[in-house]
Amino acid sequence: MKKLSCSGRVHPFFLIIIIILVAIPMGFYGMYLYIAPSLPEMTTLKKAPLLKPLQVYSADNELIAEYGGKLSVPVDYEHIPEKFIFAFLAAEDSAFFEHSGISFKGLGRALSEAVTGSNVQTGGSTITMQVAKNYYLSPDRTLKRKLTEIFLARKIEQNLSKEEILTLYVNKIFLGKNAYGIAAAAKIYYNKSLEELTIAQMAMIAGLPKAPSRYNPVVNPERALERRNWILGRMLQLGYINQNEYQKAIAEPINLDMPDRSISNKHPYIGEMVRAELVSKFGEQAVDSGYKVYTTVDSKRQMYAEQAVQEGLEAYDRRHGWRGAEAHDKPLNEFRAYANTYPAQVSKVLNNSFEALMQDGTTVTVPWSGMSWARPYRNANSVGNAPSRAAQIVKVKDIVRLSPNENKTAWSLVQVPKVQGQLVAINPNNGAIEALVGGYNFYQSKFNRTLQGWRQPGSTIKPFVYALALERGMTPHTMVNDSPITIGKWSPRNSDGRHLGMIPLRRALYLSRNTVSVRLLQEVGIERTRQLFMDFGLQEDQIPRNYTIALGTPQVLPIQMATGYATFANGGYRIQPHFINRIEDAYGKVIYQANPEYACIACINAKEQTLESAEATTPDDEVIEVIEVTNKKLAQAEQDPKLLAERSQYKQAQRILKSSSAYDMSNILRDVIQHGTGRAALRIGRGDIGGKTGTTNDAKDAWFAGFNGKLVTVAWVGFDQPTTLGRREYGGIAALPIWTDFMGNALKGTPEAWVSLDSKAKAPQRELNQMSAEQQQDYRASPPLARPLYRPAPAAPVRAPERDFDDLPGEEVLIPDNAAPPAMQAPNNSSAKPNAAPKPAPDALENLIDEVL
């Protein structure tokens, strides 16, 4: 037998063991020294982040949109039921209160279960390690990440108590179905608070962290039940529950009660505007940070606006005929409902009706009255003969669209319009957007034509030219020359080809005489006019330097036209449009409050009087001095901070027109409805409305911009790729019905309100000399509304002229010759396209929220 050597030399095997035993801890320590500087500070762990959807509310507090599906409602440790804590300890880390953040026994057990191929129920990570992973680390499966998790877990244990760690864990852990934390899971799966959960329900939720999809009771109820029962067994084994509690919990069915959490987006154009604004300010996390945004939008007026746009575009579409089935013999589930139009597949065609299968599996019948409109489309200007039987319109297996009546008792054949439109309504006093519809349907086209659709306004721009003429001394009764005019090689014409000679300025506008508009521009000058256009809200680089601007060649956004017309409605002030009134964070703290400029002098004067009264009754030693943003020194009573806060909310808007000019222009625009191209609006039955139609060359754009003293609304209709709407599709035919439908509903039940003349404004003596006593009376501060002037909109040709009002020619159309005036820049005829990047909005519109956000 060979003797062991006693020479003192170490056997190589033992040497290797020694080296390994020394190298591992040294390597581990070296890795710690390498990773430690990058470990995060513990201060950010003290409060669990709240994950809640971004919610958008109307001005009347109706939830109109919601973004971000994640839900997390943090709870304090003392509000966590004890049995819930036991369920998590049994499922994830029964030695949590004994170890120091790392459980080598748990790691070994998990490795053993994985090697033996058993149905693994436990994990190697402790609850502390999971906190480290969930709060700080990526899901990468690398050695460095695992070591970082271990080191971070130790740091957490050294800085936080066990109760704090466990609280962080149950508030952050992902539990499936967009639930983060136990309170969110209780709400999502059982529609309960934590205190209302049974032991079985707690065990079900505690089983989710390991694999939220695999053990989810919604998608995998059998696996979820197996996991739950295993946890209940562990709770019994560890003494967390007694035998009776165990038996009762085991016998309990899953019994889910999931409330409907489908994302609400009743008014998607508004919702998307808010979402985009908050993401631009706060980043993508804004949609899950629990912000509540209170907009300026009135929910009823928004609904009226959407209905008006949809019905107006569908009416245009019907006038131009049936384009045929949307598809043939295709799967019905490939088609989406838009607005109030639902896809259906024709299953039977009878003589005067047809049957169709809806996506919900029901079969409906479309009677002849619901399809007789479907003359075949030929082109923008003509349709084919009226159909006489259903087979001329549809055939079996056609994919068509149907629309129900209000009670869903009858169905009609419809089609999704190719034409587009928009409507925007703002408060002329402070610029608050009360309704906005950017297109026929958001889910068909997300392009927001109100804020992105650059188009030519046609004759709706003429009041801006006339306003400058009024500013420079003309009056509504000034005689102007409607006769042929030539500038260089350019000879603008009137739409009817006629000339009326010398006519009052008022009449020239409501009859929309092109030659008069150009002459007025000659009189006041191109540069002065361009400057006033910019004051009204138009963008400088979109206004050509030539005489065609008098006829509507600048590129404008509908929101800019609404801003401009608000100046007439509010007595001459430039307001800034905005759509967000207030933003609250997830804890209810107001982080933004709109502070718009007001055109309403009475509002500000009333506040000043209140403050002066408060100051007069305040002892001298309680009076403090306040400097507003306008740098005006104001005295205020220190004892009433509420008045001080209210005062700071009111800022005076910039005046860009004299009160008398705005008042005169408003009355002329009221004549457009009483006697001009807007007479179809008389069916509203109000005397306090005015506005202007507009149509561009070849009827590519149809406009109506109008207002009363409280609301300004602009409607536009056209194709995204500019092409003719068709003969006779003027502003008064295509756009005015949308405006009328909306304003009729929006103003229903409200008192009539017209533009007031500032009591400080004086009419020029030479103007008074031209007026009758009745006309002079119109200049009172609160003039009576001209109720006797309005009458029902005529269905037949207009009756004979009354007084100095003419029968109307055809709707005005912008008809400049190809040759523009010499030595002038050619007009910009480009239009924004929905598929192209939109041009940058004007400075005043880049942020419809104030700079303070």
Q: What pLDDT digit, counting tens, does each position of 728-740 carry? A: 899 999 999 999 9
Contact 98, 162 (CB under 8 A): no
The residue ranges of every structural domain in the chain are 70-251, 323-414, 423-575+666-845, 600-652
Q: Rounded to 5 degrees, what angle do the CA atoms 247, 252, 254 make?
A: 145
- How many other CB atoms sit within 10 Å of the CB of residue 526? 18
Give bridge partners of residue 426 from the DSSP assignment. Answer: 433, 712
Give bridge partners of residue 342 from the DSSP assignment. Answer: 402
Predicted TM-score of the model (pTM): 0.74
| pLDDT at residue 48, as a whole number | 54
Q: Which two tokens mark 851?
A: 């700079």
pLDDT exceeds 80 at position 823: no
Question: At 705, which helix (H) or strand (E)?
Answer: strand 701-707
Helix (H, G, I), strand (E, B) or coil at 722: coil
Q: Clarify whether 851 is annotated catalytic.
A: no
Q: Looking at per-residue confidence, does 192 or 619 come out higher?
A: 192
Contact 693, 736 (CB under 8 A): yes
Q: Which residue has the tokens 């057990």?
A: 109
Question: At 398, which helix (H) or strand (E)?
Answer: strand 398-404
| pLDDT at residue 645, as a whole number | 47
Catalytic residue among 459, 512, 660, 661: 459
| pLDDT at residue 851, as a whole number | 29
| 305-324 pLDDT tens trace | 999 999 999 999 999 999 99
| 242-300 pLDDT tens trace | 999 999 999 999 888 887 665 568 899 999 999 999 999 888 888 888 899 999 999 99
Question: At 450, which helix (H) or strand (E)?
Answer: helix 449-452
DSSP state of 305: H
- The architecture CATH gives domain 70-251: Orthogonal Bundle (1.10)
Type of residue found at 191: N
Catalytic residue among 58, 66, 92, 756: 92
Q: What is the mean pLDDT of residues 103-119?
A: 54
| pLDDT at residue 96, as a whole number | 87
Average pLDDT, the chain: 80
Q: Which two tokens mark 708?
A: 């009363």
Contact 374, 322 (CB under 8 A): yes
* CA nearest neighbour of 468 among 540, 393, 539, 535: 535
Backbone angles phi, psi at 383, to 5 degrees: -130, 165
Q: Looking at per-residue confidence, does 375 or 839 come out higher?
A: 375
| 453-475 pLDDT tens trace | 999 999 999 999 999 999 999 99
Indicate the CATH number of 423-575+666-845 among 1.10.10.10, 3.40.50.10490, 3.40.710.10, 3.40.50.2300: 3.40.710.10
Helix (H, G, I), strand (E, B) or coil at 434: strand
Contact 540, 528 (CB under 8 A): no
| pLDDT at residue 70, as a whole number | 76
* CA nearest neighbour of 700 among 670, 723, 734: 723
Type of residue found at 823: A
Q: What is the mean pLDDT of residues 650-670?
A: 93
Question: At 673, which helix (H) or strand (E)?
Answer: helix 659-675
pLDDT exceeds 60 at position 827: no
Q: What is the mean pLDDT of residues 154-165?
A: 83
- How many other CB atoms sit within 10 Å of the CB of residue 10? 8
> Could you give the CA distance from residue 771 to residue 73 in angstroms, rounded to a whole number?
70
Helix (H, G, I), strand (E, B) or coil at 382: strand
| 133-156 pLDDT tens trace | 776 655 555 666 667 777 777 778
- CB-count exposure of residue 430 (10 Å: 0-12, 13-18, 19+): buried
Q: What is the mean pLDDT of residues 61-82?
A: 87
DSSP state of 503: E
| pLDDT at residue 819, as a whole number | 39
Q: Clarify whether 92 is annotated catalytic.
A: yes
> Could you give the CA distance from residue 203 to residue 85 in angstroms, rounded to a whole number?
10
| pLDDT at residue 766, as a whole number | 43
Percent of the chain with pLDDT over 70: 72
Contact 731, 700 (CB under 8 A): no
| pLDDT at residue 285, as a whole number | 84
- CB-count exposure of residue 640 (10 Å: 0-12, 13-18, 19+): middle
Type of residue found at 783: P
Q: What is the mean pLDDT of residues 634-649?
A: 42
- Strand ranges for 7-136 from DSSP E: 54-57, 63-67
63-72, 108-117, 837-846: segment of lowest average pLDDT: 837-846
93-97, 389-393, 630-634, 683-687: segment of lowest average pLDDT: 630-634
Q: Which two tokens mark 516?
A: 């008069």
| pLDDT at residue 132, as a whole number | 78
| pLDDT at residue 53, as a whole number | 86
CATH of region 323-414: 2.40.50.140
| 23-55 pLDDT tens trace | 556 655 555 555 555 566 666 666 556 678 899
Q: Looking at per-residue confidence, does 514 or 784 come out higher?
A: 514
| pLDDT at residue 217, as a whole number | 92
Q: Which two tokens mark 628?
A: 């507003």
17-31, 370-384, 693-707: segment of lowest average pLDDT: 17-31
- How many other CB atoms sit within 10 Å of the CB of residue 738? 29
| pLDDT at residue 222, as a whole number | 92
Q: Give Cβ neighbours of residue 564 (< 8 Å, ≥ 6 apart).
A: 464, 536, 537, 538, 705
